[in-house]
């Protein structure tokens, strides 16, 4: 390889590692070497991947869906008071005492959402954890700190985006949400999206993505495409809590949020 090409490759590698350091901190940065690859079977020379296809999820028939997961349905019949909320503050006031499922009786605080009520980007996670339950705000624990770094690495500030979860109350021991809990709580998220009117959505983790997009596809499959949630381009990546358990997933996460940022910039410039 000519010396000039070698220097270009090394410069690119150094830039990538510096980006990783900004996102994940010095400890995790030091654990990542140039030989680290979350997909070891892949060829060592990476070529540019084609732009992800825009994909509108097709609802899975109830008979074909696994029994543990049940898709919530849009509210029908007489309206509930919260459905007429004209802004997020009003919506929060109308639902913060919700006791529709058993989680309402266990919570310390109702975790509504946080951020810019007119955000162009909405970030959606699974459910509150212990820190969130104590403080009443989503993503404030270790996973939240990592999310802030990920957003900052692609030039988003936490206060510029809007952050919410599928569930507003913490499941015991941070277990996966039960179908009946999702069925009762997801309509609140739909209303939040309706009020925020984001131009882009980022789903964090499999539960958030499968629930919002009404699909049973794997996370790998969902990450490979840009989805369409009622006209809003929707991207999927790993949940920050998963990255804390498995640092090898940080590179694909970085690639996911870079694609989102590129599409975001292109949309703003049109």
Q: Are 85 and 130 in contact (CB under 8 A)?
A: no
Q: What is the pLDDT confidence band of residue 230, given thresholds at 50, 70 and 90? A: very high
Q: Is 246 left (phi over 0), alpha (psi -120 to 50) or beta?
A: beta
Domain extent at residue 129: 87-270
The verdict on residue 59 lying in a domain is no
The verdict on residue 179 lying in a domain is yes
The verdict on residue 231 lying in a domain is yes
Among 41-55, 78-92, 99-113, the range scoring the smallest mean pLDDT is 41-55
The verdict on residue 145 lying in a domain is yes
Among 63-72, 166-175, 194-203, 248-257, the range scoring the smallest mean pLDDT is 63-72
Q: What pTM was estimated for this model as a whole?
A: 0.75
C-alpha 220, offset from chain centre: 14
Q: What is the pLDDT of residue 2?
A: 64
Distance CA 243, CA 146 (A): 9
Q: Are 242 and 205 in contact (CB under 8 A)?
A: yes
Q: Does the pLDDT value for residue 51 go beyond 60? A: no
For 51, which DSSP code?
P
> From residue 197, how far is each of 82, 191, 265 by CA, in Å?
17, 10, 18
Q: Does the pLDDT value for residue 43 go beyond 70? A: no
Q: How many CB atoms lie within 10 A of CB 257?
A: 20
Domain count, the chain: 1
How much is the mean pLDDT over the chain?
Answer: 83
- Percentage of the chain lying above the pLDDT 70 cut: 71
Q: Strand pairing of 226-229 and 54-55?
A: parallel
Region 121-128 average pLDDT: 98
Q: How many CB atoms lie within 10 A of CB 126?
A: 24
Distance CA 215, CA 227 (A): 11
Region 20-41 average pLDDT: 39
The verdict on residue 237 lying in a domain is yes
The verdict on residue 134 lying in a domain is yes
165: β partners: 125
The verdict on residue 82 lying in a domain is no
Q: What is the pLDDT confidence band of residue 20, given thresholds at 50, 70 and 90? A: low
CATH code of residue 91: 3.40.470.10
Q: What is the pLDDT confidence band of residue 5, given thresholds at 50, 70 and 90? A: low
Q: Strand pairing of 121-125 and 162-165?
A: parallel
Q: Are 54 and 225 in contact (CB under 8 A)?
A: yes
The verdict on residue 55 lying in a domain is no
């Amino acid at each position: 390889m000519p010396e000039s090409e070698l220097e270009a490759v090394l410069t690119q590698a150094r830039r990538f590692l510096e980006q990783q350091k900004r996102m994940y901190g010095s400890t995790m940065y030091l654990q990542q070497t140039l030989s680290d690859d979350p997909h070891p079977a892949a060829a060592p020379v990476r070529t540019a991947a084609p732009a992800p296809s825009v994909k509108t999820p097709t609802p899975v028939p109830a008979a074909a869906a696994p029994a543990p997961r049940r898709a919530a349905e849009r509210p029908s019949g007489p309206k509930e008071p919260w459905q007429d909320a004209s802004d997020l503050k009003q919506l929060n006031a109308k639902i913060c005492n919700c006791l529709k499922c058993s989680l309402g009786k266990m919570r310390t605080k109702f975790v509504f959402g946080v951020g810019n009520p007119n955000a162009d980007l909405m970030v959606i996670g699974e459910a509150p954890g212990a820190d969130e339950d104590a403080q009443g705000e989503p993503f404030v624990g270790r996973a939240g700190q990592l999310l802030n770094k990920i957003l900052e690495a692609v030039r988003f500030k936490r206060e510029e985006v809007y952050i919410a979860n599928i569930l507003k109350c913490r499941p015991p021991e941070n277990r996966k949400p039960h179908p009946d809990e999702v069925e009762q709580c997801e309509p609140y998220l739909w209303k939040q999206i309706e009020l925020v009117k984001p131009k882009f959505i980022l789903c964090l983790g499999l539960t958030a993505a499968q629930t919002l997009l009404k699909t049973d596809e794997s996370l790998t499959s969902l990450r490979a495409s840009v989805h369409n949630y009622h006209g809003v381009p929707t991207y999927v990546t790993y949940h920050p809590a998963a990255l804390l358990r498995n640092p090898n997933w940080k590179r694909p996460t970085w690639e996911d949020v870079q694609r989102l940022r590129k599409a975001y910039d292109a949309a703003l410039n049109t």
